[in-house]
Amino acid sequence: MPFIIAIDGPAASGKGTIARALADRFGFHHLDTGLLYRATGAKGGDPVAAAHSLNAEDLARPDLRSAEAGQAASRIAAIPDVREALVAFQHRFAAQDPGAVLDGRDIGTVICPDAAVKLYVVASDEVRAARRAAELGADPQEMLAQLRERDLRDSQRATAPLRPAEDAVVLDTSTLSIDDAVARAVAEVLRVRGD
């Protein structure tokens, strides 16, 4: 059975960086599940049809990291039929040997509730806004407003709201370096695996 690591948390908390590092460290497959929603939103047109027709080229679009794509992803992620269309993709991905790391907002609660390791990565709103502003070359105050709007929408949606799984380990990266955050995540994986 593949070893699954579920990493959830709000935007710019560091979950993607940690997920990529864990996948590299343990030789697992990695999926940024937010890309599925970003690509669906970026395709335009009917979101349900877009979700059903996603392909690898859609996930490689260079504009998927933009703030606009993130906002579109958050809006269409609230549509139950879109979520349903993308869940099967995520389940197939998670079933790959020797293991998989999936990061998103509902991995530990909905997509892979039986994941061996569940991390919920957080950081203060101000730290997340500064990170995203630096990444996008944007205004930190504008990013702060956008992140708070998105957090509210993601945590209040009826289907698969953003929240930690009951058995998730919360990792606050507000004051941690990337290396320290990754080291804590690696230590949790090693603990669970008994290494």
Q: Which domain holds residue 41?
A: 3-193
How big is the chain, counted in residues? 195
* pLDDT band, residue 180 (cuts 50/70/90): very high
Amino acid found at 83: R
* pLDDT band, residue 165 (cuts 50/70/90): very high
Which residue blocks in the chain are alpha helix, DSSP H? 15-26, 33-43, 47-52, 56-59, 67-76, 80-94, 125-136, 140-156, 178-193
Tally of structural domains, the chain: 1
CB atoms within 10 A of CB 169: 17
Q: Decide if 189 contacts 5 (C-beta within 8 A).
A: yes
Find how far residue 22's CA is from the centre of its chain: 14
Binding residues: 9-17
- Compute the chain's Rg from CA coordinates: 16
Farthest-apart Cα atoms in the chain, separation: 48
Binding residues for ATP: 9-17
pLDDT at 176: 97
pLDDT at 96: 92
Cα–Cα dist 92/164, whole Å: 23
Q: Decide if 81 contacts 10 (C-beta within 8 A).
A: no
Q: What percent of the chain has pLDDT over 90?
A: 69
Amino acid found at 190: L
**Its pTM surpasses 0.85:** yes
Asked if the model's pLDDT at residue 144 lies above 90, the reply is yes
* pLDDT band, residue 1 (cuts 50/70/90): confident
pLDDT at 191: 97
pLDDT at 65: 81
Cα–Cα dist 159/151, whole Å: 14
Asked if the model's pLDDT at residue 136 lies above 90, the reply is no
Quick: pLDDT tens for 99-133.
999 999 999 999 999 999 999 999 999 999 999 99
Indicate which CATH number applies to the domain containing 138. Answer: 3.40.50.300
Arithmetic mean of pLDDT over the chain:
92
- What element of type H or E holds 120? strand 117-122
pLDDT at 67: 76
Quick: pLDDT tens for 22-75.
999 999 999 999 899 999 999 889 999 999 998 878 888 998 988 788 888 888
